[in-house]
Amino acid sequence: MARKKLVVTRKELGLSQQQLANKVGIHRAYLSNVESGKHNPSLETAAKIARELNRTVEDLFL
């Protein structure tokens, strides 16, 4: 299942996948797979992504 809220929020903040991945400390390809629903991030990674986007994990992943 694609994570539309994650993609929309990232784009609203003007961040590319590469920029967000760099901030979080993950590979761009992994972030792409998370956004497309191919991979589920660990709770730690989900929290880092949410923190960088000023959202909660629940807002982005539930």
pLDDT of residue 46: 98
pTM: 0.94
Q: Running along the chain, 62 residues long, what does each successive block of 10 average in pLDDT?
A: 91 99 99 97 98 97 92
* 8-state DSSP, 53: T
Element (H, E) at 60: helix 57-61
Positive/negative CA dihedral, 42, 19, 15, 34: negative
Q: How far apart are CA 23 and CA 62, in angstroms?
A: 22
Q: What angle do CA 31, 15, 33 make, to 5 degrees?
A: 15
Element (H, E) at 43: helix 43-52
pLDDT of residue 1: 63
Domains belonging to the chain, first-starting first, are: 4-61 (1.10.260.40)
